[in-house]
Amino acid sequence: MSLAGKVAIVTGSGQGLGLAYARELARQGAAVVVNDVNEEAAAAAVARIEADGGKARAVVVPVGSTEAAKALVEGAVAAFGRLDILVTNAGILRDKSLLKMTDEDFDLVVNVHLRGTFTCVREAFAYFKANGVQGRIIAIGSPTGQRGNFGQTNYAAAKAGIVGMVRTWALEMKKAGVTVNAVIPVAATAMTKTVPYFAKAVEADERGEAMPAFFRHDLGFGTAEDVAGLIAYLASDEAAGITGQAIGAGGDRLQVWTHPEPATTDYREGGWTYEALREHGAELIGAHLQSVGEEFLPLPEGLQPQAEKTGAEVR
């Protein structure tokens, strides 16, 4: 067990992806602090990990505030004597199109995802530096943060911001030997369960059957457990040379996302005036427009959902 003797915190790990991450870390030998806002869900998650032969404790607190971050780190040290790994998975959704999205909808999502990641990472890194721990930090992003998605202004902003922070932290934490990466999961969850496009895959998963190969291979869409292996690997000593990356996992697919790079570069002595852009803008910019949103392949025969609408969202 490559993580034997390590201690991990996984925020938002009472169920779904977070629980899969926590179980895999425990399976690899780490003691795990389970975090959730629901006391029953957290207790059930701890019981499940212990039933698997692992070690776990629950810290029930809503992620976002500095006080919550301190409670998580202090809880890990109190329960297991140290901290080595942080996985920031906690999140909520308040999906609405721009004109329907309220200030509260925006602030709630950003507070949990973005501010919660910031406060938890700051607290964990402070502990790592003070105690000479070459820790591992894994922040959870989303394809929405990479590409955008209709109705998710708040979520897209938070997830894109997380990747931006990860790249910055990789620079700041390098000297301390701490690695920090973003994982971009694509998996069947309570959120994707409501999307007709993925219906056949989710139905197969719920029956305990393997998902059709089209979903696992062509779309890189799988189970929460398909992502958990990457989390455990990035938390291990073997991944000491990997930092500042955005890495996607889903189904049979693994992806390393590129950092944004210019699609084209042009120069004009004296700069690009309005008049110059009127003359050349269409060819210089218009010819290099980048796509937005996720684009999905047509569903093969037999995998069409019952509903007529087959538009897809990935979170």
Element (H, E) at 22: helix 16-27
Residues 126, 135: Cα–Cα separation, whole Å: 11
Phi, psi values for residue 140, rounded to 5° = -95, 120
Catalytic one among 21, 127, 155, 197? 155
Element (H, E) at 118: helix 116-131
Element (H, E) at 8: strand 7-10
For residues 141 and 184, the answer to whether their CB atoms sit within 8 Å is: yes
137 strand-pairing partners: 86, 180
- Give, to the nearest 10 degrees, the angle between helix 16-27 and helix 224-234: 50
Nearest to 68 by CA among 118, 23, 125, 107: 118
For residues 226 and 249, the answer to whether their CB atoms sit within 8 Å is: yes
- Local structure of 212: helix, strand or coil: coil
Residues 36, 133: Cα–Cα separation, whole Å: 25
- Give, to the nearest 10 degrees, the angle between helix 16-27 and helix 39-51: 30
84: its two tokens: 């080595």
For residues 306 and 199, the answer to whether their CB atoms sit within 8 Å is: yes
**Among this protein's residues, is 155 annotated catalytic?**
yes
Element (H, E) at 70: helix 66-80
Q: Determine the residue type at 61.
A: V
The catalytic site residues sit at 155
